[in-house]
Amino acid sequence: MQRTTRPRRRPVPAIRWREGRDVPRHGGTITDPLTRNTQLADGRRRPGSSPALTLTAALLGFALITLDASVVNVALPSIGAELGGGMAGLQWVVDAYTLAFASLMLSTGAFSDRAGASRAYAIGIALFTLASAACGLSPSLPALIAGRTVQGLAAAVVLPASLALVRQAYPDPARRARATAAWTAGGSVAVALGPVAGGALTTAWDWRGVFFINLPLGAVALALLLRAPRSERRPAPLDLPGQATAALALTALAFAVIERGPAGWATAVVAAVAGVAFLRIEARQPNPVVPPALFRSREVTAAVAAGAACSVAFYGVVFVFSLFFQQLQGRSALHAGLVFLPMTALIGVTNVLAGKLAGRYGPRLPMLLGQGLAVAGLLALLLVDAGTSPGLVAALFVPLALGCGLTVPPLTALMMDAVPGERAGLGAGVLNAARQVAGGLAIAVFGALVSGAFVPGMRLCLAIAAGLFGVTWFLSFRLSGRAASWAGTRCGRK
């Protein structure tokens, strides 16, 4: 019997992965070096690796930190009644979270890269959950404000890490686009539910319930994260001097507005000195947290300004009218939260329409339409006085909701189109930080304005927000139909 010899199989040629790793062309497995996700060569994933669970974990964390930015507003009168502190104390309960969130977000994207997105996300969620427990157990207003500051720090870590997890779980661009849309929708739903959830928890339990609800949600997010693949650590430069001076300037500015008096003037000087130091540091740093050349682009300036105006209008209106319904009209926290429901729900629905309009006509048209509607809504709210019914106020909120909902998705797309692809994380961080800072400063200024005669102060707040939208509408009107890239050898393409 003649023995046949089987021909030797030639080695499978390799192709080069995008980051420089060799992987087989046919058969075998492919390992994404960004995520260490092992999948079969035809795109099927091995059992145990679940992108859907990773997306759910990321979405839950993002919704959690977004919810906490608005859920507390409706509980403020109850917090003040138990812990005291006056209007200034209530402003700090909100701003301690917002300012820590905004100022530290400038560097937490780099931290997420250095630690790995999955590790950074786990650290952020765990810290946020523990800080929420501390807030719920706070025996005094200073303890609550300290807990809120830690919450804001943790939220700044969670946000970029959660989006990075979505990016890593879905290497395919089409599937990643759908996953990112779901991630964004989670934040919109949280914004819509925030005032209602805050009112319901405060009425059925007390104000501490708005913090204790985070404990089971945080535990679920961490449990889901166990199924997500480990993220690879990547080198990312940190600008610690720039980060420190930015945080000092923002905190001192908020203190100056809230506290006023001699202490306020002193901290205003500190804010000015820290702000100048920040600008000088950023001009000399090889890897600044906010590259000065970023704002040479008309598109970037318009996007950041419009985003800031939306935050001033939304967070300022929710803050002021939460006090209006409960302190001036004597209504319950639940009733106040329900009045906001049409406005917050419309924002989420309108975001979808805005994305379609921006895809068809570009970002300029929906931004102009949205900001025009927002101005009309704010001017209509000037008619509100102490005797206005909640139903009429809810109806007057509608143009503002439509305006903000139409403006935010296009301005985000405008920002992403205006920066090089390799700096998209930087652009997103600057935009979100600017929006958080604007919201925090709006609460500081608006709280000071309504601390005297409430209704005249409220109308002045609305007029300020409308004026800001007028300025950003003009900036948007000057945009061309195409997005220009931002320049500069230190922060753009070499």
Listing DSSP states for 54-77 in one string gives HHHHHHHHHHHHHHHHHTTGGGHH
pLDDT of residue 470: 92
> For residue 38, what are the β-bridge partners?
31
The C-alpha atoms of residue 195 and residue 226 are separated, in whole angstroms, by 31
**In the structure, what pLDDT confidence band is assigned to residue 287 with cuts at 50, 70 and 90?**
confident
User: Residue 118 in contact with residue 225, Cβ under 8 Å?
Assistant: yes
pLDDT interval class at 42 (50, 70, 90): very low
Residue 16: pLDDT band by 50, 70, 90 thresholds? very low
DSSP codes of every residue in 217-268: HHHHHHHHHTTSPPPPP------HHHHHHHHHHHHHHHHHHHH-HHHHHHHH
Q: Note the pTM of the prediction, 2 decimals.
A: 0.72
Q: How far is CA 265 from CA 186, 250, 261, 272, 284, in A?
A: 41, 14, 6, 11, 29
User: 350-375: b or e for each residue (b if 16 or more CB lie within 10 Å)?
Assistant: bbeebbebbeeebbbbbbbbbbbbbb
Q: What is the dihedral of CA 90, 91, 94, 96, to 10 degrees?
A: -110
Please tell me the distance from the alpha carbon of residue 348 to that of residue 72, in angstroms, as a whole number.
20
Q: What percent of the chain has pLDDT over 70?
A: 80
- Looking at the predicted structure, is the pLDDT value of residue 151 above 90? yes
If phi over 0 gives left and psi between -120 and 50 gives alpha, with beta otherwise, what is residue 20? left
Is the confidence at residue 387, as pLDDT, over 60? Answer: yes
Task: Indicate if the pLDDT at residue 131 is higher than 90.
Answer: yes
User: Can you give the pLDDT at residue 398?
Assistant: 92
pLDDT tier for residue 173 given thresholds of 50, 70 and 90: low
Q: Does the pLDDT at position 310 exceed 60?
A: yes
Mean pLDDT of the region 125-131 = 94
Q: What is the pLDDT of residues 349-377, one digit of tens each?
A: 887 788 778 778 888 888 999 999 999 99
In this prediction, residue 60 carries a pLDDT of 87
